[in-house]
Amino acid sequence: MSDSTRAPVAAKHPVVSSHHGLSVTDDYAWLRDPGYPEVTDKEVLDHLKAENAWFEAQMGGQNDRVEALFKEMRARIKEDDSTVPQKDGDWLYWSEFEEGGEYRKFYRRPVAGGEAQLFLDGPALAKGLEYFSFGDIAVSESGRYIAYSTDTNGSERYVVQVLDTETGELLPDRIEGVNTGLIWAADDTVLVYGRANEQWRVDRVFAHTMGSDPASDVEIYHEEQLGFTAHPELSSNREWLIIATGDHETSEVMFTPIGDPMGTLRMVRQRKTGVEYAADFRDDQLFIWTNDEHVNFRLATAPLSDPGEWTTLIAGSDEFYLTGFDLFRDFYVIEGRLDGLDQIQVRYYDDPARVEPIVFPEASYSAGLGDNPEWAMDTLRIGYQSPITPGTVYDYHVASRELEVRKVQEIPSGFDPSLYVVERLNIEARDGTMIPVTLVQRKDRKPGGPLHLYAYGAYGIAVPPSFSTTRFSFVDRGMAYAIAHIRGGDDLGRNWYLAGKLAARENTFNDFVDVARGLVDLGHTAPGKISASGGSAGGELMGAVINQAPELFGAIVAHVPFVDVLNTMLDETLPLTPGEWPEWGNPIESKEAFEHILSYSPYENVTAQAYPPMLVTAGLNDPRVTYWEPAKWVARLRELKTDDNVLLLKTNMGAGHGGKSGRFEGLKETAEEVAFILWQLGIEA
């Protein structure tokens, strides 16, 4: 029975494991239900429920603040919102939120004119469910059939169904256990998809013939290398089915004509450890994006007759980080970053020297290609935003090189960008590396006050200088908001990522701590006035920095934190573990990797010291960061910390990695996070 009058104390059942002659004791290993992914163990569930009761009791005094923040955040959202329609074949497609609606409705209408057709009704599909999420949506080439996948518990094991838009009925074809990719092939008679195995790894790609029993679906690819994930793709010209497979550092691509999805797959180039590549097609030529010759990638071409013979089209560059490309009939587009800022360039097949960069108006921004589904495009859909510029949808007219505004994110409660200032700082880390920091604050803010610091720092994922409506619930209360572009992300190129992974992992944690100290030294804030947050691998970051420098922080929020790094990397039965070894190291095979992960893993390195107030979240159905990681971490923190600061664990019992589904249910959790931080920093407004 849950007791909301005192913090839960987890029982200790020591489990000793030995690796490479070293022993590690885990007192809280029992919090992993042996029946996972089913969680039915009464002792485990009782403990999680007790933590949730403690969370509710402690946050109860903040209910009015949470509700006020939720209303404030909701007032910044246009409730009856819609996307800009985009043409694909004979139809224009868009989605809408109704006022008060948690989920999108998907519509289309004929380009030639006619009535709008509602083809997917999110609110209706989600009715009565605690959790609901769309996965992929794939319209058949004829436009008649629409395949879509849904997840109803947060486990990311999707169910695929197919709608016949002519009859309005669902076809009997129902495919379960799908995790990636829905591709129509063979004149809409075959649906290609990736299926997750028991460990939630997509190691097989299947072809389903419409009208047949899914149990008889044909396996067209089986990935045998542990840790590799396979997924089907469609070439830009829609002539080829592409099967891509790989992990965090190695790729391999195969292809077959889209009309013959069960035919023999041809190889582009065999995998080579450390070489990543992606491929697309135009006529009898392949275009290949790869890091085989330069860490910042190059773009190469190859003849269809000899796809492994690559010739450089755009050489790799120390300055320009090539992050991807898109092919169209008459031109192609490359995306990348220069000095950490997004770049989009239009280039031409018949004139390699002709380069047309798309120029944006601000010095700090985030921009990228949007949905551009057709092969014969003459206008590109582009998304743009900055820390003080709401999300903007542009159409870029390629021939005239003009940007046309199609939509600007509306803030119903009002937004005046002139009240704010954005700075790009560089703060020196302890090894002399300069770490970029994006700082947003009101122009009338007093220096030295509270500041929120955010980062991610893993997998080469950059944190762009983008717009966030919820951020202003901090900033309008006199807080500054800082994004630390730390190593481990690829904000400044591929080397920036490599400098924060494997043996260099500590750079990520040190960068964050050094940025916090640098912001203090510059007078932007003070020790104990800094709140910080991060999720997943960013939650691991939170765990590491509070072990290193807890005195800097006045409040910490760690969402679904990856804090039990060593035990997770030692367990190859877990969903992501084998594919994660290139990112973190393999402590099963390597004593060096074992010792290194042990030296920083947040769970093992909790010590008897004072820790800042903390809010930790988990998802019972999370396949990425399993629920027991945050649960074990909180239990160990409760045991060892020497302070009386608040420590809360909230487990979503019917959700996964992303928390609650639905735009307003998710917003309520954000309001809880902000309320917790304001409470702990002593901000009353």
Active site residues: 536, 622, 657
Q: Quick one: which of 164, 209, 208, 200 has its CA closest to 180?
A: 200
Beta bridge partners of 651: 618
Q: 458, exposed or middle or buried, with CB in 10 Å at 0-12, 13-18, 19+?
A: buried
Phi, psi of 619 (to 5 degrees): -125, 125
* Residue 285 C-beta-side C-alpha neighbours within 13 Å: 12
Q: Which residue pairs from 305-309 have beta carbons closer than 8 angstroms and sit at least 24 positions apart in sequence?
A: 307/255, 307/266, 307/267, 307/268, 307/269, 307/279, 308/267, 308/268, 308/269, 308/270
CA distance 46 to 603: 22
CB 118 within 8 A of CB 105: yes
CA-nearest of 533, 474, 661 to 69 is 474
Phi first, then psi, for residue 245 (nearest 5°) are -140, 155
Long-range contacts at 588-596 (CB < 8 A, ≥ 24 apart): 588/19, 591/19, 591/20, 591/21, 591/22, 593/569, 594/19, 594/20, 594/22, 594/566, 595/20, 595/22, 596/503, 596/505
Provide DSSP, 117-135. EEEEEHHHHHTT-S--EEE
Q: Is there a cis peptide before residue 37, judged by omega within 30 degrees of 0?
A: yes
Picking from 500, 501, 608, 627, the residue whose alpha carbon sits closest to that of residue 562 is 627
The partner residues of 453 in beta bridges, in order of sequence, read 482, 532
Three-state SS sequence of 276-305: CEEEEEECCEEEEEECCCCCCCEEEEEECC
Distance CA 616, CA 619 (A): 11
- DSSP 8-state assignment for residue 487: B
Cα-to-chain-centroid distance, residue 680: 28
Residue-wise DSSP of 538-561:
HHHHHHHHHHH-GGGEEEEEEES-
| Buried/exposed code over 133-152 (b: 16+ C-beta within 10 A; e: otherwise) | bbbbbbbbeebebbbbbbbb
Chain-centre distance for alpha carbon 520? 30
Rounded to whole angstroms, the Cα distance separating 599 from 591 reads 12
